[in-house]
Amino acid sequence: MDINKIMSADVLDIIFDGRYKEYGAYDLRKTYNKRITYALLGTLALCLLLFVGSILANSFKKESKNQIIVQDVSLEDMKKEEKKPEIPPPPPPPKQDPPKVEITKFTPPKIVKDEEVKEPPPEQEKLADTKIGTINQEGTKDEGIVAPVVESKGTGVVEAPKVEEDYDKVFTTVQIESEFPGGAAAWAKYLSRNLNADVPSSNGAPPGKYTVMVSFIVDKEGNISDVAADTDPGYGTKDEAIKVIKKGPKWTPAVQNGRKVTSRKRQAITFQVSEE
């Protein structure tokens, strides 16, 4: 390269002076800056296109019409305890009349003439084994008969023995029901947010309502266990309902006679599939 051109020549031209520039290395280095610019502009345009496409897809996305219906969050008892028949009180003892005792009427002594005597006094021998009274009465001889004791009349009701409550059993009826943290409204909100309303339609369910009746146990510490479906309309609804109830938080346990007890609960969950 001429000395006069060295000062104004590009560094790349100086390096490749006298070499074979058509091989490709020279051209790659010569167009490097231009290719980097094109690559950055292309990447930026692609990212911008993806971003705009995502926004448009979300704006035109059709919302699902399927719903979850929690029937007024009514936790029904699994079954009602049968009412035991009351034991009738024993009949009162039959009334017994005291035995009649022979009584001889006492006649006060009075001095009169024999023809004026209307009722002669009883003989002394007869008075030895009979009672003296104001009337004459036939009966048994007075041989130390003791009259029966008169018992006070009661109500005729015998109090049944008190039965001790078994607080370790699973109660189906309690005085204070177990409760989800935050109450019934929070329970309905939890189910609506966590249940996937599209489960039945994704499994080919036709339009309609699909109700799952789920029973579960809340123990004395508020833990959930024994979650099972009493009804299964199919299309994955049973498994979805059981899964969501199992993963829920602890409950406030039920109370019976002031003590925390284990109770069984029941919940109806309805999946509603709408027509497209």
Enumerate the domain spans of the chain.
Answer: 3-58, 67-80+165-273, 100-144
CB-CB contact of 115 with 92 (8 Å): no
Q: Which two tokens stand for residue 185?
A: 């409204």
The low-confidence residues of the chain, meaning pLDDT below 70, are: 1-30, 58-66, 71-85, 101, 103-110, 112-137, 139-163, 276
What pLDDT does residue 165 have? 80
Question: What b/e readout covers 195-219, taking b as 16+ CB neighbours within 10 angstroms?
Answer: bbbebbbeeebeeeebebbbbbbbb
Looking at residue 85, its pLDDT comes to 66
Kindly report the number of other CB atoms within 10 A of residue 171's CB atom. Answer: 23
201 near 66, Cβ under 8 Å?
A: yes
Token duo for residue 223? 């833990």
Q: Please tell me the pTM assigned to this model.
A: 0.47
Q: List 91's β-bridge partners, or say none.
A: none
Pull the structure tokens for residue 92.
Answer: 């009162």
The mean pLDDT of the chain is 76
Residue 34's pLDDT is what? 80
For residue 261, the SS3 value is: strand
pLDDT value at residue 43: 93
CA-based angle 188:192:196, to the nearest 5?
A: 150
DSSP alpha helix (H) spans, 140-229: 184-194, 199-202
What is the CATH number that goes with domain 67-80+165-273? Answer: 3.30.1150
- pLDDT at site 91: 82
The pLDDT of residue 218 is 93
Please provide residue 125's backbone torsions phi and psi, each rounded to the nearest 5 degrees: -65, -35
Per residue in 51-81, pLDDT (tens digit) is 988 887 766 545 556 677 776 544 444 444 4
pLDDT at position 254 is 93
Beta bridge partners of 67: 272
Nearest partner of 79 among 262, 264, 228, 225, judged by Cα = 264
